C-alpha cells in the first residue's frame, strides 16, 4: 500500500503511485458522475461475505484444535462432529451440518447427556453447535463461531428414536405461556430446573443463556444452593432452547475471553430490567443489516483466512467424535430409523483433548446489547 514502501527509490515510487492514483481517482469520479457506481464502497462490494465462505465448508480444518477470535467474530480449527445419534442424545436439524465443535465442547456434550440421563432426563435434543470451521452463518446465530457454543432444546429426547428426516421437522416448543414472559407450568417441570443446574455445575461451562422468563422461574423457585444461578443469564429468545458456552480452551492463544459474570444470583435489578417495556420495544431500525450480512473476511481475525484453506480430513466419519474407546458404538451418520446405540462412553474413553478441561472461573454474559433480530 502507499506509504509502506521505504528506502531508496521511494520518491520515484511515490510519484508513480501518485500519478496512478490520481488517474484512477479521476476515472472513478467520472464513473460516479455518470451514475455507474454502486453507492457501496468498492472493496466491500467486491469482497465475498464471510458467511458464504464459511457456510459452504462441509468439513473441518484438519489441524490442532484452536478457537480464533470471539464467540461472535471468529472461526476455529480441529473441529470434531458430534455423532447425529448417541445413546443419550439426538442432533436436531441434522441437514444444517452444524454439529461441529471444539473437541472439548463435543466431549462435554456427550458427558452432559450421560449425566443428565443418570439423573432421569431421557436424553438431550441438541440443536446448532458450529459449522465445520465455524465463522458466521448464513442464517441465525450471531455467536456459535468458534466451536464453543451449543444449543440444547428444553424438550426431553423421545424414548423412541426419531429418524433423521423427522428431526428436520420436529417443531420447537416454547416453555412460555403464549404472549407472556412467564413459563408455562404445564411444560416447565422441576426436571428442567435440575437439568440447568447440572449444566451449571461443569466448571468449563461459563454461562448458560435462557429466556428472562425462565431465569425468573428459577429465581422464584430454587431453594438451598443458589450460587449456580450466577451462570444462568437472561437473554432474548431461548424460550425453546438454552445455550451453553464454554470458555477459551488451552492451545487457543487467539481466543478472546469474555468478561466475568457479576457475583450473585442475578435475580435482582438486572433481571428486573427484562420485565420493563424497554427490552421488548420494536427495534427503531428493523431493516438495519445484521452483522452476518456485512462481515467479510476483513472483519474476522486474519488467521481465519488460513482456516478456510487448511486441509480437510478424508471424511466426516474421520472427524466424528467417538470417545476414543473401543466399547463405544456411536454411528457417524446412522441411517434413518437406525436403532439408538446402547453403549455408554466411559470416562476413560475421553480423548486426550478432554484433559484440556482446565477449570475456568465462573463468568457471565455482558449486559444486553443491541437486540438480535432472531
Q: Which residues bind Zn ion (CB under 5 A)?
A: 151, 243
Instruction: Kindly state the smallest distance separating residue 74's Cβ from Zn ion, in Å.
Output: 15
Size of the chain, expressed as the number of residues it contains? 374
Instruction: Tell me which DSSP letter residue 278 carries.
Output: G
Which residue lies nearer to Zn ion by CB, 102 or 243? Answer: 243
Instruction: Kindly state the smallest distance separating residue 203's Cβ from Zn ion, in Å.
Output: 20
Rounded to 5 degrees, φ, ψ at 233 are -110, 130
Residue 27 makes CB contacts below 8 A (sequence gap 6+) with: none
Instruction: Kindly state the smallest distance separating residue 296's Cβ from Zn ion, in Å.
Output: 23
Instruction: Kindly state the smallest distance separating residue 177's Cβ from Zn ion, in Å.
Output: 23
* Spatial distance between the Cα atoms of 308 and 67, rounded to a whole number of angstroms: 13
Which residue lies nearer to Zn ion by CB, 235 or 357? Answer: 235
Question: CA triplet 344, 248, 203: central angle to 5 degrees?
Answer: 55
109 closest CA partner among 73, 145, 132, 80? 80
Instruction: Kindly state the smallest distance separating residue 116's Cβ from Zn ion, in Å.
Output: 18
Which residue lies nearer to Zn ion by CB, 81 or 345? Answer: 81
Look at the alpha carbons of 179, 234, 147, 257 in this order and tell me if their dihedral is positive or negative.
Answer: positive
Residue 69 makes CB contacts below 8 A (sequence gap 6+) with: 75, 145, 146, 254, 255, 256, 300, 301, 303, 304
Closest-by-Cβ residue to Zn ion is: 243
3-state secondary structure of 133: coil
| b/e 282-297 (16+ beta carbons within 10 angstroms → b) | eeeeeeeeeebeebbb
Asked if 188 contacts 175 with a C-beta cutoff of 8 angstroms, the reply is yes
Instruction: Kindly state the smallest distance separating residue 211's Cβ from Zn ion, in Å.
Output: 12
Instruction: Kindly state the smallest distance separating residue 91's Cβ from Zn ion, in Å.
Output: 14
Which residue lies nearer to Zn ion by CB, 236 or 275? Answer: 236
Amino acid at each position: 500500500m502507499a506509504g509502506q514502501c521505504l528506502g531508496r527509490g521511494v520518491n520515484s515510487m511515490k510519484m508513480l503511485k501518485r500519478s496512478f492514483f490520481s488517474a484512477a481517482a479521476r476515472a472513478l469520479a467520472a464513473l460516479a458522475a455518470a451514475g455507474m457506481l454502486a453507492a457501496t464502497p468498492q472493496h466491500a462490494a467486491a469482497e465475498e461475505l464471510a458467511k458464504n465462505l464459511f457456510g459452504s465448508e462441509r468439513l473441518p480444518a484438519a489441524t490442532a484444535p484452536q478457537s480464533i477470535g470471539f464467540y461472535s467474530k471468529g472461526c476455529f480449527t480441529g473441529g470434531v462432529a458430534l455423532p447425529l445419534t448417541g445413546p443419550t442424545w439426538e442432533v436436531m436439524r441434522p441437514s444444517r451440518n452444524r454439529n461441529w465443535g471444539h473437541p472439548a465442547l463435543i466431549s462435554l456434550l456427550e458427558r452432559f447427556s450421560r449425566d443428565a440421563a443418570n439423573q432421569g432426563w431421557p436424553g438431550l435434543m441438541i440443536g446448532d453447535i458450529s459449522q465445520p470451521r465455524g465463522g458466521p452463518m448464513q442464517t441465525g446465530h450471531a455467536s456459535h463461531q468458534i466451536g464453543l457454543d451449543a444449543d440444547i432444546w428444553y424438550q426431553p429426547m423421545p424414548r423412541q428414536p426419531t429418524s433423521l428426516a423427522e428431526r428436520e421437522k420436529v417443531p420447537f416448543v416454547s416453555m412460555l405461556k403464549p404472549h407472556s414472559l412467564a413459563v408455562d407450568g404445564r411444560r416447565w417441570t422441576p426436571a428442567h430446573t435440575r437439568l440447568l443446574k447440572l449444566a451449571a455445575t461443569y466448571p468449563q461451562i461459563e454461562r448458560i443463556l435462557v429466556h428472562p422468563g425462565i431465569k425468573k422461574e428459577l429465581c422464584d423457585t430454587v431453594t438451598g444452593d443458589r450460587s449456580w444461578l450466577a451462570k444462568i443469564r437472561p437473554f432474548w429468545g431461548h424460550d425453546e432452547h438454552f445455550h451453553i458456552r464454554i470458555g477459551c480452551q488451552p492451545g487457543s492463544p487467539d481466543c478472546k475471553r469474555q468478561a466475568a459474570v457479576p457475583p450473585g444470583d442475578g435475580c435482582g435489578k438486572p433481571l428486573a430490567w427484562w420485565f420493563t417495556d424497554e427490552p421488548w420495544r420494536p427495534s427503531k431500525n428493523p431493516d438495519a443489516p445484521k452483522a452476518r450480512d456485512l462481515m467479510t473476511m476483513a472483519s474476522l481475525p486474519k488467521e481465519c483466512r488460513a482456516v478456510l484453506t487448511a486441509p480437510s480430513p478424508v471424511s466426516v466419519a474421520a472427524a466424528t467424535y467417538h470417545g476414543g474407546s473401543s466399547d463405544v458404538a456411536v454411528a457417524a451418520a446412522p441411517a434413518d430409523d437406525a436403532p439408538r446405540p446402547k453403549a455408554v462412553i466411559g470416562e476413560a474413553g475421553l480423548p486426550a483433548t478432554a484433559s484440556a478441561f482446565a477449570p475456568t472461573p465462573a463468568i457471565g454474559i455482558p449486559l444486553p446489547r443491541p437486540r438480535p433480530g432472531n
